[in-house]
Chains A and B, each alone.
Chain A
Amino acid sequence: MTFKPGDVGADSLTGWSIATGVAALGFMVYLPLGSLPSFAGFSEHPSALTVAMCICGSLSVYGAWRRRLAVATVVRRTLFFGAFLAVMGNVNYAHYVYYYSHTVPDAQGAPRVGEPAPEFTVPDPSGGSWSLQAFKGTPFLLVFYRAHW
């Protein structure tokens, strides 16, 4: 059984490819997304995306299963590899949304509102340094971030 013109949904090569591609996007959550602003939705609508990816993953598996008896070995392998990627993309995304993203450690030692900010000194490559005193008299927003954010 091969893809034929007129096939629809996961039965069409285009439909199967899109479903597989969308589900496999689940791998992107662990990649540096900062340069891909269009993927902001990955963080902002996790439940909707989880459902969408599960549907796409299911369609991908369904499309591959329908053609499990394809004559050409390369077609069979491509389909099942694609379906495998789709399923793993689903698993990866769900793992990030429902487990990993909640692993931020407590910050019990962080200064509280009303307390003085701790003294710090950060040497810079020019031989100088930055310290709390350097900002005395200037209100400042101090943001700690992970490298690729």
Chain B
Amino acid sequence: MRDLEGLDRIAPKIKEQGGVIVTVSMDQWSELAQRQARMARGMTMLADPDGDMVRTFGLEDICFGEDIARPAAFLIDREGIVRWRNLPTSWRYRPGSSAYLAAFESSVSHE
């Protein structure tokens, strides 16, 4: 939830710049609804319980026998082109919300 809360905090700033945050997890929709209830609803939160989208992006992983998405982030521009990506090689070093915001602002300023 710490990651999500960080994203939730920067969501309004990204929205001000014409963007949006989309999160994806392999939760069931019912589980996701519980998480959404704790957010300010500034993000689009998607559930991908079957992992179709996760596999499409090549991010499938297994943790203690459970299918999960490996941590990853992509910044996709208005034309659908990937402008930035972050694929941490350790569970411990995931980018914080400030890194996401900086990447977004940098990308938007170069458009």
Q: Do A and B associate with each other?
A: yes
Smallest CB gap from B107: residue in A: A139
Interface size on A, residues (CB 8 A): 50
User: Which B residues lie within 8 Å of A117 (CB)?
Assistant: 74, 76, 80-82
Q: How large is the interface on B (under 10, 10 to 19, 20 to 34, 35 or more residues)?
A: 35 or more
* Chain B residues, Cβ within 8 Å of A35: 1
**For the complex, would chain B's binding face be called helix, strand, loop or mixed by DSSP majority?**
mixed
How distant is the Cα of A102 from the Cα of B44 in the complex, in angstroms?
Answer: 29
Pair A111/B74 contact, Cβ less than 8 Å: yes
* Across-interface contacts of B85 in A (CB, < 8 A): 110-113
* Nearest chain A CB to B18 CB, angstrom units: 7
Could you tell me if B70 and A139 are in contact, using CB atoms closer than 8 angstroms?
Answer: no
Report the bound CA distance from A119 to B46 in whole Å.
15
User: B58 to nearest A CB, angstroms?
Assistant: 3
7 intermolecular pairs with C-beta atoms under 8 Å apart: A105-B60, A121-B53, A139-B111, A142-B73, A143-B7, A144-B59, A147-B27
Besides the contacts A34-B4, A109-B57, A141-B7, what 14 more A-B pairs have beta carbons closer than 8 Å?
A104-B70, A104-B88, A117-B82, A122-B24, A135-B76, A136-B78, A139-B77, A139-B108, A142-B74, A143-B21, A143-B73, A144-B24, A144-B71, A145-B24
